[in-house]
Structure 1
């Protein structure tokens, strides 16, 4: 039962969903008026580009034996998916979330791009970082910055995210997917780009 729960945590909080969670969180908290059709179009585009497209590409890579599992256990398996993800995020920045529309989300995704690039470079040099922790800590920092920016109480969200971060770390350690060092590297790689880019919109 314990093993099932910890495996489920890794699956439910997979890195692919974190960009979408960031977008949904922003739209739920911003006091700015954004017409519903525009919101829906942005959300739909993010779902297609950050979830559905990567999943389809994963199955293609698995078919040609370039990856084994969706968790990308080895640094070699990570190279192509991370590079493709960098291209997808760049496309989002160019076409979906431009800086003159929704500046907060633009810099959120710019932070994601930097984190992904850093993870790719580390994979090239055979250094493994937890992509789960990169994605979750990046969303956590963005949520904190949104709370500060709009001066709203998000203590509940912060508490929940800290629990989730702890659960993800426990899950990855229990499944022997990462070491403590790889989890810590993941936290810093996810958190610092968001912290740095928040200076441009806070």
Structure 2
């Protein structure tokens, strides 16, 4: 028998003895309760611990901060990796525009969180809210965006990023400027009979 065969045989025999000892040990141990098995399985499949009790509104600040941090880290990582177009969809209750507990203040807090992080990463950020769409009596703006542009203009920004953030952007081909690095489009939405996508495409082509 060669040296290699000897080593292989030794390892196989040792593994067999170890398996037998393990089986005997398991038989000696009392059967774990159902609860213990469930807990062990849950720990093995443990993932991200998201905040609970999201049906309590307004949410606690720590709850909102969890989602702000999660979105911000994802956006900054994507921009750093060179991604050109990013879509963020987060619909916890206070950001679900179809729900009755939607809060525009939460939307603006999230926008400020992301914009500040990007500005501190060396980017010049323009925050864009769509203009009213349609013509004549059919001119309208989605209800969730009503007054958002005005509120953005009234917001305070950290001193170290105030010069790198422009909160007065819109959506259209005339918006991008040479010094802009990142555009944050706040909840762009269509209205009945009028599509916003062509304006976004024109803006992306120019930017």
Structure number with larger C-alpha Rg: 2
Q: Which has the higher strand share?
A: 2
Q: Which has the higher helix share?
A: 1
Both proteins in one fold, TM over 0.5:
no
Taking structure 2 as the reference length, the TM-score comes to: 0.27
